[in-house]
Amino acid sequence: MRLPFGPIELPPRETFADRESLLAKVMLAPAVLYVAVLVGIPFVLAILLSFSNARAGSLSFSWVGLSNYAAVLSDPTFRRALLNTVIVTVAVQVLVVILATAAAMVFRAAFVGKRIMRFFLLLPWAVPITLAVMAWTWIFDSTFSVVNWTLKVAGLLHGWLYWLGSPTLGLIAIIIVQVWRLFPFATVIVLAGMTSIPQDVVEAAIMDGAGFWRRLFQIELPFLLPVVTVAVLFGIVYTATNMSVVYLLTGGGPADSTHVLPTLAFQRGIEGLDLGQGAAIALFLLPFLLVAAIGMLRIARRSEMGSP
Partner 1 sequence: MSRYRLMRYARRVGVYVAALGFVTFAAFPFYWMALTTFKQNKDLYVSATNLKHVPWIFNAAPTLAHLKLLFTQTAYPQWLLNTLLVVVAVVLITVVVAVPAGYSLARLAGSWGEGMGIGIFLTYLIPPTLLFIPFSRLVAILGLQDSLWSLVVVYPTFTIPFCTWLVMGFFRSVPWDLEEQAMIDGYSRLGVFFRVVLRFAVPGILTVVVFTFTLVMQEFIYALTFISSVDKMTVSLGVPVALVRGDVYHWGALMGAALITSIPMAIVYNLFMDRFVEGLTLGAVKG
Q: Cβ closer to partner 1: 150 or 218?
A: 150
Residue 243's SS3 state is coil
Q: Cβ closer to partner 1: 88 or 189?
A: 189
What does the chain come to in residues? 308
Using alpha carbons only, give the angle 290, 291, 295 rounded to the nearest 5 degrees.
Answer: 110
Count CA atoms closer than 13 A to 235's CA, side-chain side.
31
CB of 211 to partner 1, least distance (A): 14
Q: Cβ closer to partner 1: 1 or 199?
A: 199
For residues 245 and 178, is the Cβ–Cβ distance under 8 A?
yes
Q: Cβ closer to partner 1: 82 or 265?
A: 265
Q: Cβ closer to partner 1: 175 or 188?
A: 188
CB of 24 to partner 1, least distance (A): 3
The DSSP annotation for 14-78 comes to --GGG-HHHHHHHHHHHHHHHHIIIIIHHHHHHHHHHTB--BTT-----B-TTHHHHHHHT-HHH
For residues 165 and 257, is the Cβ–Cβ distance under 8 A?
no
CA distance 125 to 81: 26
CB of 63 to partner 1, least distance (A): 16
CA distance 209 to 251: 54
Q: Cβ closer to partner 1: 1 or 307?
A: 307
Q: Cβ closer to partner 1: 44 or 204?
A: 44
Give Cα separations from 2 to 6, 7, 8, 11, 182 (angstroms). 8, 12, 14, 22, 70
CB of 259 to partner 1, least distance (A): 13
CB of 171 to partner 1, least distance (A): 19
